Structure 1
Amino acid sequence: MIIDNLFWVVPIASVIALAFAYFFFRQMMKEDEGTDLMKKIAQHVRTGAMSYLKQQYRVVLIVFIVLMLLFVFLAFGLGVQNKWTPFAFLTGGFFSGLAGFFGMKTATFASARTANAAKNSLNHGLKVAFRSGAVMGLVVVGLAVLDISIWYIVLNYFIDEPDSSHKLIIITTTMLTFGMGASTQALFARVGGGIYTKAADVGADLVGKVEAGIPEDDPRNPATIADNVGDNVGDVAGMGADLYESYAGSILATAALGASAFATVSVDMQYKAILAPMLIAAVGIILSILGIYMVRTKEGATMRDLLRSLGLGVNVSSALIAVLTFVILYSLGLENWIGISFSVVAGLLAGIIIGQSTEYFTSHSYKPTQRISESAQTGPATVIISGVGLGMVSTAIPVITIAFAILIAFLSAINFDVKHMLDAQNIQLGLYGIGIAAVGMLSTLGITLATDAYGPIADNAGGNAEMSKLGPEVRKRTDALDALGNTTAATGKGFAIGSAALTALALLASYIEEVKIGLIRIGENALTLANGDTIETAKATIVDFMDYYQVNLMNPVVLVGIFIGAAMAFLFSGLTMNAVGRAAQKMVEEVRRQFREIKGIMEGEAEPDYARCVAISTKGAQIEMVVPSLLAIIIPIITGVVLGVAGVLGLLAGGLSAGFVLAIFMANSGGAWDNAKKYIEEGNFGGKGSDNHKAAVVGDTVGDPFKDTSGPSLNILIKLMSMVSIVMAGLTAAYSLL
């Protein structure tokens, strides 16, 4: 297939993103890091973060080597897998890890500079923190689009297939497999980083705030440095790897669906359908950079003013991509470009609504979180009950929003032909619409992720200001930036979960395409349907495969798969929650020991052993992250071998529905508990040190693994199970027992 000139917009956009990321990084590095004490604290955090990341990458490397050897055996030994898969798997993991590494490196250099900038003004502090967060956003989109571009060029050159239409299908389904590498790396980063940060955070809060009665980020608390390190390894490196995988996965799944949906139209239209999501992502990169330059605020800004400042950049970028999508698809000459453009708009609107819903339920500027603060007057039990209730109620709007987005995206792509919406061709086109809606939601990820990565940078800046004993005016500004960061982090998690739902649904449809390729590879060139008709495998539609494998709710294999998938969400959450609990218990014991045995800590005359707490978090995270992460890889493989294609589809549907709702519940409960504590610390309901504050700290401690470990890891779980299933589709098709 000839690559036309329009394609080169995609790699050029990736280079622009990486160039601006470097520019923002250099700008940040030119800022003054502050006093010698500020530099010393920042260096402690930097050293701890890099040390942890090296340990994590060693563990992940072992897993990757084992999985690559498995893929080599499946591809070259059994012949049930594409021979490019092992290499695509490695590049996906490498670029995902690289994105997290660059983002975290920037964050650890930015925190002290943000605190020092806050000495001048709130706007200066916001600008340094936000543009440092933008490095993460632009690195993620730049590397993802670069990886996709390179793979498309390489496969287009090396795959020798006389049928151009079939060649495009092979290229896009092969490219999908590098998503498993990205997903695997993302899950280890999220789970390991989440366990690390919350073990330190819980230990620091329970012993420091509740028992010793000292402020958050007090330098006398031995777990403080580990807590600040954890913000970087969990909320920066982990989130970067997570959204890299969502972003790449949505583009790749949509391209694969486009190749299949337009195969019966023409090769030219197939190519345009593949190129469309890449071009939307490329234009979204440019608009994200524009939005980043729009973020600024005034001195003395309220929380709503700060939220409005960030919202301006995000919303302008989103509005412009909505308009330009129509121009892109019209210029491309894509069939039904108007309807498919509205599918993109549906995804964009869903992302905005989920973000606003999350902000409402988690920001202390609004009633729901303020009510949790109020409930602290009757103790920690009512704080926990209020937070759990809020989290459950908060799931309604995102679920309804995603449901409408799915329907509108599907119907728009088929010109609202409701009467024939379940015809084979319309189903293919409708699924393409859902996939491109996910691309739309993630199209401005460059700035959306910047608002999320900003959070831990502001949090660390506040910690640095506290430990460096900067003046009350500076601390007030860093507190304002930190409180904003809590809300943007919660909003970012809601956005990540919403995008995961649409991406996973697109991957679910792509799974069938991979099964088709797998059957052809093992020589199954004809399917006998339930009515006795025989159809050529290469020409079979999704409807034909549903019939062939009996994928319906009356099939007990499908139902068993659904139950296993739903249980996986809860089992995974339980394992990661318990992991945090065990690691936090060791941290609490260590902090108590240091307070007890190192004389002069409480008087500020002796320095705590920060390194010991960092080592405890590092070791705990390395050990505890392995079992839940491997479970997410092993269960889809076993399900495929035992229950076959129908069982896998049930597994993915159950995991997607239960995991999506559970993730929203956990993220919003945790975010609300955190900001309820912050609301009291601002002087409401007794302020810092009061009994109400201590009750809110307990709620925040319960919410820590909710919002920063189990909740955000769930969106990777549902995508990783889909990716594993796609990569193992050939094995499932050839060797399943049922």
Structure 2
Amino acid sequence: MDLGYLIYLAPISGLVSLLFAALLAKKVLAEDKGSKEMQDIAAAIQEGAMAYLNRQYKTIAIVAVILTILIALLLPKSDYYSFIVAVGFVFGAISSAAAGYIGMNVSIRANVRTAAAAKNGLESALNVAFRGGAVTGLAVVGLSLFGVSTFYIICDYFALAANPVDLVIGFGFGASLISLFARVGGGIYTKAADVGADIVGKVEAGIPEDDPRNPAVIADNVGDNVGDCAGMGADLFETYAVTLLAAMLLGSLVLDSIPNAILYPLMLGAAAIFVTIVSLFFVRLGKNKNIMNALYKGVAAATIISAVVFFFITEYLIGDYTFYIAALVGMVITVLMVVFTEYYTSTKYRPVKEIAAASQTGAGTNVISGLSFGFESTALPVIAIVIGILVSFFVVGGAADATIGLYGISVAAIAMLSTTGMIVALDCYGPITDNAGGIAEMSKQPESVREVTDELDAVGNTTKAVTKGYAIGSAALGALALFADYKLRVDLGAGSLSIDNPLVLVGLLIGGLLPFIFSSVTMRAVSKAAMKVVDEVRRQFKEIPGIMEGTAKPEYGKCVDIVTSAALREMVVPGALAIVVPVAVGIIFGSEALAGLLIGIIVVGLMLAMTLNNAGGAWDNAKKLIESGLYGGKGSEAHKAAVVGDTVGDPAKDTSGPGLNALIKVVNMVAILFATLFMSGGLIGGLL
């Protein structure tokens, strides 16, 4: 029976998701905006955020135009292949940018409404903040599914290639490129402002976080949005699109054995959108007023309902329950990644408590303790991913047919992404509540309001860490599927990747090196920009009389300009590394060395990203734990030490760590896209 007509459900589901996001946005924007003073502060945050995002995308557009021309010139010209892929690249880049724009536009308006709702209690504020985050979640999955499926349907309908999925690679590369720049640029911006504000404000001047006397406070609040809303929105848009593409690419290779192998991942994605919409209504504050539990109700509902729905989809389209087991494996990995990340970053558990205790003896022991837990935090997630890979590969028959086994891994990755809409909602909830607290503090709202926003914000730190852990895990499985497609595309046999081959070994070493160089460049960028913010804040405290007394207003715009210029300037080199290095390795050392590079960057990038993310989240919450009154509370020596640890962790968890997710996938996409340029052995191999 021909089930091809079902494919149209994919773009329709994407449009439904966007429509529901619009309805949620309308509901959020109808909420009370608070006092005029609150609205003025929110307006300053909005102006800074939009100004940065506009300048960022103008900068990225220049790079995108150059790459579009190169794609059109360098790829095969037969049947307009290069032109269609170039169009897909532009389409993917625009869609990814749109996901970031939509998310940030709502978050910078939901913040003040959350602060105003806090006057009515915890439940009211939680509802506004979560709905604001849900707009981004639904926009990300809706745009991603609509973009990938629509482009594929067009290419398939007009028979533009023997394998229409190949033409969608350009869309995935466009999404990856925007994600990398948005993640890195937004990460540099937010952490330079945050670190600069903390060093002078908390440590030197002894004033609270979000104090209006701090000249960097507006830049700090802007950074929360451009980093965690626009940046994470683009990041998970790209993860969703690229993982979906990887499953379709592998599916196109097993159509003889599994006729609906391309349709199946698209239908899982379509069903997950409706599941996400239903699951939003499960987020409710219970009698115990536990915010984290309220949010996790939505994640649990999305996971459980997806597990039920996926069974019937698998039965109808595949008829082989082993693929349903592979999908269940992906969902189990999602749950485990959330649990493991929360354990290492929440104030409730041993790691954060021990880091807080270590702060009593100074910043040195705080940093050492945080690093040790960051390294330790890689063990359980890797074990879970390893078991997941083995089960999803062998359960579908990978021992008999390796390509089908790899397709099973891609199904697990797609199932992991079934909760993407909900996870993004949790992530964007974080900066919305963080901003709400800042607005309440700067507008001098009653203590009861700040208590509500502080409760919401404390949970937001954990949700942001959990989201990054989820993104890392899904990136690992998605990258494995992309690597499998590259290996098949350049026709590398099993024996060709032996480390006895010096070219493979060279590639492995370069691939392992790249995440460290990338992290070095991005962390140094934060350091340099933060130093300029520190100098500017100190200058204003010294040269503008009355700031500390509250009789003079700081020049907030100066710090905003500093971090904006730094972020736009410093994001270019990390982005270039992701494109230039794999192309250079492929041309100079050949396809085998590039395969080694892909293996190296997946393994090392995964470990380093988890270390940086979890250590940074733990440092942040150790500071929050002390600020709650432990070990002397705010202003104590332990608090000052914890602030230093937090400043070290800031670029780790919000710049370099999440940036590595995008780096891994961009490098894999570059390898797949330009595979035809890489001959076996390359220029060096030809001389040996």
| TM-score bucket of the superposed structures, by smaller chain | over 0.9
Shift, 1:448, TM fit: 1.3
Determine the structure 1 residue equivalent to 2:403. 428
Determine the structure 2 residue equivalent to 1:486. 461
Of 488, 493, 496, 1:546 maps to: 493
Does structure 2 conserve the Cα–Cα contact (< 8 Å) formed by 1:76 and 1:83?
A: no
Q: What code does the residue aligned with 1:203 have?
A: G
Of 312, 330, 342, 2:325 maps to: 342
Determine the structure 2 residue equivalent to 1:236. 229
Q: What code does the residue aligned with 1:312 have?
A: K
The alignment partner of 1:175 has SS state of: helix
What is the 5 A alignment of 1:581-592? 581-592=527-538
Determine the structure 2 residue equivalent to 1:540. none
Determine the structure 2 residue equivalent to 1:310. 295
Does structure 1 conserve the Cα–Cα contact (< 8 Å) formed by 2:251 and 2:262?
A: yes
Q: What code does the residue aligned with 1:481 have?
A: L
Shift, 1:510, TM fit: 1.3
The alignment partner of 2:285 has SS state of: coil
Shift, 1:157, TM fit: 2.3
Paired positions, count: 684
Shift, 1:261, TM fit: 2.0
Determine the structure 2 residue equivalent to 1:296. 284
Of 401, 419, 425, 1:444 maps to: 419
1:282 aligns with 2:282: no
> Take 1:579 and 1:148, find their aligned partners in 2: how far apart are those partners?
34
Determine the structure 1 residue equivalent to 2:244. 251
The alignment partner of 2:444 has SS state of: coil
1:74 aligns with 2:50: no
> Take 2:217 and 2:557, find their aligned partners in 1: how far apart are those partners?
11
Q: State the Cα deviation string for residues 140-191 of structure 1 (Å, max 9, x = none).
A: 0000111112112210122256xxxxx3xx2112212311111110000000
Does structure 2 conserve the Cα–Cα contact (< 8 Å) formed by 1:454 and 1:485?
A: yes
What is the 5 A alignment of 1:137-156? 137-156=137-156
> Take 1:58 and 1:323, find their aligned partners in 2: how far apart are those partners?
44
> Take 2:640 and 2:608, find their aligned partners in 1: how far apart are those partners?
27
What is the 5 A alignment of 1:391-402? 391-402=374-385
Q: State the Cα deviation string for residues 95-126 of structure 1 (Å, max 9, x = none).
A: 00100010000000000100111110101111
The alignment partner of 2:590 has SS state of: helix
> Take 2:497 and 2:614, find their aligned partners in 1: how far apart are those partners?
34
1:378 aligns with 2:361: yes
Determine the structure 1 residue equivalent to 2:9. 9
Of 684-693 and 585-594, more deviation after overlay is shown by 684-693
Does structure 1 conserve the Cα–Cα contact (< 8 Å) formed by 2:591 and 2:680?
A: no
Does structure 2 conserve the Cα–Cα contact (< 8 Å) formed by 1:342 and 1:409?
A: yes
Shift, 1:513, TM fit: 4.1
Q: State the Cα deviation string for residues 361-394 of structure 1 (Å, max 9, x = none).
A: 1000112101111111101111101100110111
Shift, 1:81, TM fit: 6.1
TM-score by length of 2: 0.97
TM-score by length of 1: 0.91
Does structure 1 conserve the Cα–Cα contact (< 8 Å) formed by 2:187 and 2:654?
A: yes
Does structure 1 conserve the Cα–Cα contact (< 8 Å) formed by 2:334 and 2:416?
A: yes
Does structure 2 conserve the Cα–Cα contact (< 8 Å) formed by 1:74 and 1:81?
A: no
> Take 1:508 and 1:42, find their aligned partners in 2: how far apart are those partners?
44
> Take 2:673 and 2:384, find their aligned partners in 1: how far apart are those partners?
30
Shift, 1:471, TM fit: 1.1
Does structure 2 conserve the Cα–Cα contact (< 8 Å) formed by 1:173 and 1:514?
A: no
Does structure 1 conserve the Cα–Cα contact (< 8 Å) formed by 2:24 and 2:135?
A: yes
Does structure 1 conserve the Cα–Cα contact (< 8 Å) formed by 2:81 and 2:167?
A: no
Determine the structure 2 residue equivalent to 1:125. 125
Does structure 1 conserve the Cα–Cα contact (< 8 Å) formed by 2:283 and 2:294?
A: yes
Determine the structure 2 residue equivalent to 1:682. 628
1:575 aligns with 2:521: yes
Give me the CA root mean square deviation.
Answer: 1.7
1:216 aligns with 2:240: no
Of 577, 596, 619, 2:542 maps to: 596
> Take 1:367 and 1:320, find their aligned partners in 2: how far apart are those partners?
32
Q: State the Cα deviation string for residues 621-650 of structure 1 (Å, max 9, x = none).
A: 011110111111100000110111111110
Structure 1 portions without partners, runs of 5+: 162-166, 517-544
Does structure 1 conserve the Cα–Cα contact (< 8 Å) formed by 2:73 and 2:82?
A: no
The alignment partner of 1:293 has SS state of: helix
1:632 aligns with 2:578: yes
Of 583, 596, 600, 1:654 maps to: 600
Does structure 1 conserve the Cα–Cα contact (< 8 Å) formed by 2:188 and 2:567?
A: yes
Shift, 1:300, TM fit: 7.0
> Take 1:700 and 1:440, find their aligned partners in 2: how far apart are those partners?
34
The alignment partner of 1:413 has SS state of: coil
Does structure 2 conserve the Cα–Cα contact (< 8 Å) formed by 1:173 and 1:513?
A: no
> Take 2:466 and 2:176, find their aligned partners in 1: how far apart are those partners?
21
Determine the structure 1 residue equivalent to 2:114. 114
Shift, 1:613, TM fit: 0.5
Determine the structure 2 residue equivalent to 1:618. 564
> Take 1:632 and 1:3, find their aligned partners in 2: how far apart are those partners?
39
Q: What code does the residue aligned with 2:187 have?
A: G
> Take 2:195 and 2:456, find their aligned partners in 1: how far apart are those partners?
22
What is the 5 A alignment of 1:171-250? 171-250=164-243
Does structure 2 conserve the Cα–Cα contact (< 8 Å) formed by 1:250 and 1:436?
A: no
Does structure 2 conserve the Cα–Cα contact (< 8 Å) formed by 1:431 and 1:509?
A: yes
The alignment partner of 1:657 has SS state of: helix
Does structure 2 conserve the Cα–Cα contact (< 8 Å) formed by 1:80 and 1:731?
A: no
Identity %: 49
Does structure 1 conserve the Cα–Cα contact (< 8 Å) formed by 2:377 and 2:610?
A: yes
Structure 2 portions without partners, runs of 5+: none
> Take 1:189 and 1:243, find their aligned partners in 2: how far apart are those partners?
11
Does structure 1 conserve the Cα–Cα contact (< 8 Å) formed by 2:31 and 2:113?
A: yes
Shift, 1:262, TM fit: 2.8
Of 446, 449, 454, 1:474 maps to: 449
